[in-house]
Structure 1
Amino acid sequence: MKFTIVGSLGNIGKPLTQKLISEGHEVTVITSSIERQTEIEQLGANAAIGSVNDAQFLEKTFKGADAVFSMTPPNMGGSNIIINTTNAGKALASAIQKSGIKRVVMLSSIGADLPNGTGPIQALHNIESVFNELKDVAITYLRAGYFYTNFYASVPMIKNMGILGGNMQNTTLLPLVHPTDIAVAVAEELQKIATENNIRYIISDIKTPEELATIIGSAINKPLLWTSFTDEQNLNGMLQAGVPVEISELYTEMGRALRNGIIQNDFVLSGSPVYGSVKAEEFAKEFANQF
């Protein structure tokens, strides 16, 4: 089969490309970086150099594919993040419709059922809404959990303060996911025959922040406790670390929504399905190797 992958060779794109190539499929990887071309081709895939905001480029690249994996970059330019990400989704939707693609797997997130109050996840809600208007396309919305890899940003906090923290409570239910588990799920969905839209949650493990801090602390041989910040403390801490204002505000909003349980609610109502294989203890070993 022929697949087109949006997302270059990131934490998801690279293992996804490797898996599909190993299974004998023809893969085209879209990247905005010409520097990635050689690496993509060395994996055995075709490289398409262009922007996810360029609907004409996307349409041309999508044509002839059996299915497309769609993801939008976080657009962390520092301003207009929701608008920019949503616009990238609109370009992808236009290209999907005009190219005649019939099967799409879209990377979304827990909480994408909600129209606002979820920080950066709001953009994925917007994109799901745009994709729902596509005609004669079967879409799987792959709603991923909170990325384990987000905790790499906490390394300075651990080293300098000896804590792991955020504006979630220590008992917050936190559905977690590893990028390689997402790649496996995407590969499965791309090859499924589907005639209608559906939602699939991809979660590797469920832990509270307190449990995760204990697990990571054990892996790095440094006892850790989760420290709950107020929203104001969380926002100010990000700003002091040099994070742009809009990003800091969005991630503080997301932490608040996780703390209040609204982001997790639909996942819980769906039966809290856990399909991923990378448990928190395994991620903690990876974390320790890079700590």
Structure 2
Amino acid sequence: MITVMGATGRVGRQVVAALDGEEVRAVGRSAERLAAVGVVPCVGDAGDAAFLTEAFRGADAVFTMLPVDEHEPDHRGAQEAKAAAIATAVRAAGVPYVVALSSLGAELPTGTGFIEGLHAHERHLAGTGARVLALRPGWFLENAADALPVVEALGCVADSLDPDLALPMVATRDVAAAAARALCTRYRTGPVELLGPRDLTQTEVARVLGTALHRPDLPYVRLPDDEMVAALVGAGFSPDAAARHTGMTAALNSGRISAVRTAENTTPTGIEDLVGGWVA
């Protein structure tokens, strides 16, 4: 038995699909969406340790992640509480092996914005007695798809990342494939970075999107942090969550978060493999 948290989310649903043929419990907040996944549903809250304990009980391996809620007034506090609840459940259920969705930079305890919550996730799991593999992907390529409404509204790609900062960008399907492999084989522990096929700048991402949209001159605009926070709050983020985003991009811009590319952490799917599906 394998339990998958976030089973209807961007990564989790692909983990479930990659585990085809395995006995899987799918954890999520929506009974309707879980029913569409086609495996055993477990409906509840990721901050409820008692619920998670039952969802994890009897599992040979568990895929954990921190659900993102940008509306939380105290986003960092909410992430800490969920990380603690997940670890409590792993310990109480006697889970032997965990694959945790984390991020590049999760080894740093502070100064990384959103990623601080993933540091807490890894830290709490380390005290459970389970064998833990922490997947640390780079920037998700699918973040570019999320930018399409901004492109339509403003005629540009915009964020608080420096335009010429080359980041490792990885497809979520490659992250899911790595998670599924580990859940089935339990072959290793410790942190595992996933960096995509090559590093990309935001200017390059805008160029790829522009070509697909038949707008070859589509620009990338680097917003100052205060303007980025205001834009995110206008889009529904809490002020704390918006500040966590710019805290993360500041850590990336400064080079505080970085990775060394190797054959082992290079994954196959590039932005050109995905962009056609985003603009179809």
TM-score with structure 2 setting the length: 0.92
- Distance in 2, matches of 1:56 and 1:242, equals 30
Query: Post-superposition shift, 1:155?
Result: 2.2
**Structure 1 runs of 4+ off > 3 angstroms?**
239-243, 270-275
Q: How many residues align?
A: 278
Show CA shifts across 1:70-121 (max 9, x none).
1110132331111111211111111111111111000001111111111111
1:201-280 matched pairs, under 5 angstroms: 201-205=193-197, 206-223=199-216, 224-264=218-258, 267-268=259-260, 271=262, 274-280=265-271
**Unaligned 5+ runs, structure 2:** none
- Distance in 1, matches of 2:189 and 2:267, equals 22
Counterpart in 2 of 1:85?
79
Equivalent residue for 2:190, pick from 198, 205, 210: 198
Aligned CA RMSD, in angstroms, stands at 1.9
Q: Which amino acid aligns with 1:203?
A: L
Asked if the contact 2:26/2:34 (under 8 Å) is kept, the reply is no
Cα 1:208–1:49 shift into 2, 3 Å = same
Show CA shifts across 1:200-253 (max 9, x none).
112223211111111111111112222222222322333344433222211111
Counterpart in 1 of 2:16?
17
- Distance in 2, matches of 1:85 and 1:246, equals 12
Counterpart in 2 of 1:188?
181
Cα 1:54–1:243 shift into 2, 3 Å = closer
Counterpart in 2 of 1:282?
273
SS at match of 1:191: helix
Task: Name whichever of 146-155 and 203-212 sits farther off.
Answer: 146-155
- Distance in 2, matches of 1:272 and 1:253, equals 30
Cα 1:233–1:75 shift into 2, 3 Å = closer
Asked if the contact 1:173/1:261 (under 8 Å) is kept, the reply is no
Task: Name whichever of 182-191 and 163-172 sits farther off.
Answer: 163-172
Cα 1:14–1:156 shift into 2, 3 Å = closer
Cα 1:80–1:211 shift into 2, 3 Å = same
- Distance in 2, matches of 1:25 and 1:237, equals 43
Asked if the contact 2:192/2:265 (under 8 Å) is kept, the reply is no
SS at match of 2:268: coil
